[in-house]
């Protein structure tokens, strides 16, 4: 049923399409909404507008090449996606990244998380009608991207983590600049609270909107801040530590609210935890090689390998099946956004149509990661 | 009840004013906001040393490059944006040797992943800092990186 054919159902429900070209969906997501007046009866996400068959493409790329494609999935957590692939290959080779590479990887991953959460904060404000916060968040995000540019050579699709370690050593200025960025974030963090968190209009649009219970969050497969706001303990960094996260001190932020306001607060607190993690490592990067020695042509032994990491949006799983050749036999990604999207119809049921924008803003969807 | 009602209104207005105060601060302190005025700052704009803008092949003053034509980059490239065409070149000792004729670089297919530069055993190609690649026709994005009449540098092949 397309719009124009039959847009009022027999029960008198009005059917409208939100997207695929809609500024609040942050990409080409198409939501079909059944409305009773202004109340949402049903939401149906339609996918496939940005499907690039990354999984199939990976079957013809070698284990060194297939890493770079994943930067294009969740482009805001590009580092962490690359890290997942690199870790999966390392698992197959039964090697571990060098201590120096691990420390660099964790710093980069947390910087990515900070940048990603800042973009989310900016866009959450933008979706709910506040344009000014966007620029405050981008001020800090720009500083992080400059650090990335200096060390990795690119700002968004870095392709810095390679099987065995990282592509090249950190830039001589790296430690100083990261410290400057952390200081800038800590100094300016109170501005975030002043301009958006405390704002009464913003609060009223998020509180008691898009509630999802703990049981529902588990059964829909939500991960990341979306699930942690409902009280589900699911931080992969704590539960299945990788790259030396088990040696670091940090808290898993949990909330029991379950609504959009809780998701907002969890993400805000996570930013400070990321700052805390980087602070522990930035002066203690071990000396040594930045990459373990690997063969030019990597061949994984027969078998299947699964590696999960915590991206800024939840659990990303990389599943590699190898038949002993230089390319993967099958490659599958368990993407966090796809699972989180499936919970949106549950969250939006009974809400007003304007609340759907607030729900999508706080779930923080990245559409290329849903379709892959 | 009434007190609570007005209390809510008061705290709401206070929260809005807090935000407005911050906006007002930056509105009056123009020097604290740093934005880059592109493209007016082209003369002073300096990209990071490792910035990956495009693949380039450095030539020295004698018009010599370091590419031996081993095809490592061509095999490593995930997108097939590198194509090397060979020729037979007569050496001073009378023998014929395989040398690169054209090193074709398809910029339109390149994703700047840096894998070709990593794979190159003789450091013949590096990443350049130029990032303004927009052209009017697609054919201009197909580039030949070795300059006309260029030769392999002595001592690279050993």
pLDDT (tens digit per residue) in A165-178: 888 888 888 888 88
Percent of chain A with pLDDT over 70: 98
Q: B33: pLDDT confidence band, cut at 50, 70 and 90?
A: low
Under an 8 Å CB criterion, which residues of B touch A? 11-12, 15-16, 18-19, 21-23, 33, 47-52, 76, 78, 111-115, 118-119, 127
How wide is the angle at C-alpha A100 spanned by C-alphas A99 and A106, nearest 5°?
Answer: 90
pLDDT at B14 over 80: yes
As a whole number, mean pLDDT of residues A283-299 equals 83
Q: Which domains does chain A show, CATH number per domain?
A: 50-371 (1.10.645.10)
CA distance B143 to chain A (A): 22
Nearest CA in chain B to A159: B113
Per CB-CB distance under 8 Å, the chain B contacts of A171 are 48-50
pLDDT at A4 over 60: no
Which tops the pLDDT comparison, B77 or B151? B77
pLDDT at A249 over 70: yes
Which of the residue ranges A186-195, A294-303, B145-154 would you say has the lowest mean pLDDT?
Answer: B145-154
How wide is the angle at C-alpha B52 spanned by C-alphas B154 and B78, nearest 5°?
Answer: 80
Per-domain residue ranges of chain B: 2-32, 54-152
As a whole number, mean pLDDT of residues A238-250 equals 87
pLDDT at A218 over 60: yes
As a whole number, mean pLDDT of residues B62-91 equals 85
Q: B35: pLDDT confidence band, cut at 50, 70 and 90?
A: low
pTM of the model: 0.86
What average pLDDT is seen over chain B?
A: 83
Q: Which of A11, A248, A54, A22 is nearest to A127 (CA)?
A: A22
Helical axes A99-127 vs A353-363, angle rounded to 10°: 170
Q: For residue A29, which phi and psi values (nearest 5 degrees)?
A: -100, 135
Contact state of B22 with A151 under an 8 Å Cβ cutoff: no
Which region, left, alpha or beta, applies to residue A112 given φ > 0 means left and ψ of -120 to 50 means alpha?
alpha
Residue A40 CA to residue A15 CA, distance in Å, equals: 10
Q: In this predicted model, what pLDDT tens digit does every residue of A32-46 receive, in sequence order?
A: 888 888 888 888 888
Nearest CA in chain A to B46: A150
Contact state of A171 with B114 under an 8 Å Cβ cutoff: no
- Burial of A241 per CB tally in 10 Å (0-12, 13-18, 19+): middle
Which region, left, alpha or beta, applies to residue B69 given φ > 0 means left and ψ of -120 to 50 means alpha?
left
- Residue B136 is predicted with a pLDDT of 92
As a whole number, mean pLDDT of residues B11-27 equals 82
Q: How long is chain B?
A: 158
Nearest CA in chain A to B33: A139
CA distance B124 to chain A (A): 18
Which tops the pLDDT comparison, A61 or B97? A61
Which tops the pLDDT comparison, A147 or B15? A147
- Residue B36 is predicted with a pLDDT of 67
pLDDT at B5 over 80: yes
- Residue A6 is predicted with a pLDDT of 60
**Read out DSSP for A120-174?**
HHHHHHHHTT--HHHHHHHHHHHHHHHHHHHHHS-SS----EETTEESSPPPTTH
Under an 8 Å CB criterion, which residues of A touch B? 61, 64-66, 68-69, 132, 139, 146, 149-154, 157, 159, 167-168, 171, 191, 194-196, 198-201, 203, 296
Closest by Cβ to A194, choosing from B19, B33, B52? B19
Residue A166 CA to residue B83 CA, distance in Å, equals: 27
- Residue B60 is predicted with a pLDDT of 84
- CATH fold for the domain made of B54-152: Alpha-Beta Plaits (3.30.70)
Q: In this predicted model, what pLDDT tens digit does every residue of A109-143 receive, in sequence order?
A: 999 999 999 999 988 888 888 888 888 888 888 88
A133-to-A25, A78, A164 alpha-carbon distances in Å: 18, 24, 39
Closest by Cβ to A195, choosing from B19, B50, B78? B19
B59-to-B66, B88, B132 alpha-carbon distances in Å: 8, 21, 22
Which of the residue ranges A86-95, A187-196, A258-267, A315-324 would you say has the lowest mean pLDDT?
Answer: A187-196
């Amino acid at each position: 049923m397309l719009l124009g054919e039959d847009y009022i159902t027999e029960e008198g429900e009005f059917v409208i399409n939100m997207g695929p070209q809609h500024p609040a969906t942050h990409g080409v997501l198409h939501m079909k909404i059944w409305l009773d007046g202004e109340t949402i009866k049903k939401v149906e996400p339609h996918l496939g507008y940005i499907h690039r068959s990354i999984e199939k493409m990976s079957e013809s790329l070698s284990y060194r090449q297939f890493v770079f494609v994943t930067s294009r999935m969740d482009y805001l957590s590009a580092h962490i996606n690359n890290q997942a692939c690199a870790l999966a290959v390392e698992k197959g080779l039964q090697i571990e990244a060098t201590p120096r590479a691990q420390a660099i990887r964790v710093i980069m991953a947390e910087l990515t998380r900070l940048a990603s959460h800042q973009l989310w904060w900016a866009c959450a404000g933008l979706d709910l009608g506040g344009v000014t916060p966007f620029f405050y968040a981008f001020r800090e995000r720009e500083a992080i991207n400059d650090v990335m540019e200096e060390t990795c050579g690119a700002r968004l699709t870095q392709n810095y983590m390679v099987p065995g370690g990282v592509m090249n050593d950190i830039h001589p200025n790296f430690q100083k600049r990261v410290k400057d960025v952390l200081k800038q974030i800590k100094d300016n963090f109170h501005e975030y609270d002043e301009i958006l968190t405390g704002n009464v209009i913003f609060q009223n649009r998020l509180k008691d909107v898009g509630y999802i219970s703990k049981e529902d969050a588990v059964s829909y497969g939500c991960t990341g801040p979306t699930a942690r706001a409902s009280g589900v303990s699911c931080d992969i960094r704590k539960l299945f530590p990788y790259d030396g996260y088990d040696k670091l001190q940090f808290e898993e932020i949990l909330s029991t609210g379950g609504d959009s306001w809780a998701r907002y607060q969890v993400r805000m607190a996570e930013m400070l935890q990321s700052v805390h993690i980087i602070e522990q490592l930035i002066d203690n990067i071990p000396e040594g090689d930045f990459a373990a020695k690997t063969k030019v042509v990597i061949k994984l032994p027969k078998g299947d390998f699964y590696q999960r990491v915590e991206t800024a949006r939840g659990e990303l799983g990389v599943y590699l099946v190898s038949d002993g050749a230089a390319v993967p036999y099958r490659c599958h990604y368990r993407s966090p956004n796809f699972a989180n999207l499936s919970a949106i119809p549950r969250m939006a049921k009974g809400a007003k149509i304007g609340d759907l924008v607030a729900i999508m803003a706080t779930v923080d969807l990245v559409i290329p990661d849903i379709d892959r | 009840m009434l007190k609570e009602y007005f209390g809510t209104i008061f705290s709401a207005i206070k929260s809005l004013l807090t935000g407005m105060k911050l906006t007002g601060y930056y509105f009056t302190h123009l020097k604290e906001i740093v934005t880059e005025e592109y493209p007016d700052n082209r003369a002073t704009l300096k990209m990071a040393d490792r910035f990956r803008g495009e693949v380039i092949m450095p030539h020295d003053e004698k018009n010599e490059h370091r590419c031996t034509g081993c095809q490592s980059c061509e095999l490593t490239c995930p997108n097939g944006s590198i194509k090397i065409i060979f020729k037979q070149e007569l050496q001073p000792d009378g023998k014929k040797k395989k040398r690169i004729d054209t090193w074709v670089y398809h910029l339109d297919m390149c994703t700047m992943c840096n894998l070709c530069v990593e794979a190159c055993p003789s450091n013949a190609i590096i990443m350049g800092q130029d990032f303004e690649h927009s052209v009017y026709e697609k054919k201009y994005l197909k580039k030949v990186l070795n300059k006309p009449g260029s030769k392999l540098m002595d001592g690279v092949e050993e």
